[in-house]
A = this chain, B = another copy of it.
Amino acid sequence: MTDARGQVSQPPARHPAVVLLSGGLDSTTCLAWALGQGFVCHTLAVDYGQRHRVELEAARRVAAALGVSDHREVRVDLRVLGGSSLTSEEAVPKRRDATALTTGIPSTYVPARNTIFLGVALGFAETLGSSDLVAGMNVLDYSGYPDCRPEFVRAFESLAALATRAGVEGARFQVHTPLMALDKAGIVRLGLSLGVDYSLTHSCYDPSPAGLACGHCDSCQLRAKGFREAGSPDPTRYAC
């Protein structure tokens, strides 16, 4: 490995990290980022009873394509609790305008989802002796989700230090959120610069039985806008 001045440099330390991987555009970009940072990545997908279960297959596909040898899937059946259009029969909102997309908290909000996901990731990290978590929260395109804000992430880090054996022994957990300040176009540009093949990923909240994207839910609209603004062809397979 050579640095910018052509001199030989050391590769980054090979610490283990747990990467939350939904199989979507954001988390896939995070995984590519974490691999680029030199982390030994262990990926975690959560089967929470989401209506877009096809994303679990995408997560497996992405993990395999990016050479992750330890991909785990944990079931947390949040349908038992309801409270979200992603875990119930309630219709997913469609064709919302740009203002609605970035203001208010939509019905696709899943109560306490990121607290639960980071909790499971924390448990996984502790079994690995890792104190690094990587997650795809970003505030710009999902300002409606309270558990995507930096203050939530910092509070979780504080909790993690108190919640764990490793914390008691001095570990300081860090939740890396490399997408936090990027918009969707920025995320696409970052992923492309890291060689991500976005045709492997799935973002749609309401896919067809064959797994094709609806093109109209919030997630589809934000994803399409990202490719458009990044000036990159959209590899998504749409149902119509």
Contacts and interface: CB of A to CB of B under 8 A. Distances in A.
Contacts of A112: 119-120, 122-123, 126, 163-164
Contacts of A74: 76-78, 80-81
Contacts of A73: 80
A141 interface: no
Interface string A103-143: 00100011111111001101110110000000000000000
Kindly list the 7 A-B residue pairs having the minimum CB-CB distance in the complex, ordered from nearest. A83-B127, A112-B123, A111-B126, A111-B123, A116-B119, A115-B119, A112-B122
Contacts of A105: 165, 168
B164 A147 contact: yes
A16 interface: no
A97 interface: no
A72 interface: yes
Contacts of A109: 165
A162 B154 CA distance: 10
A186 interface: no
Nearest to A161: B155
A238 interface: no
A159 interface: yes
Given A123-B81, A123-B110, A162 B155 contact: yes
B165 A146 contact: yes
Interface in A134-187: 146-147, 149, 151-152, 155-156, 158-160, 162-165, 167-168
Interface string A75-106: 11110111100000000000000000000010
A158 B153 CA distance: 12
Contacts of A76: 74-76, 120
Nearest to A114: B163
Nearest to A47: B77
Nearest to A144: B165
Contact of A75 (B77, B111, B115, B122): B77
A204 B168 CA distance: 26
A146 B158 CA distance: 13
Given A82-B127, A83-B127, 8 more contacts: A72-B81, A74-B81, A76-B76, A81-B124, A112-B163, A146-B165, A149-B162, A155-B163
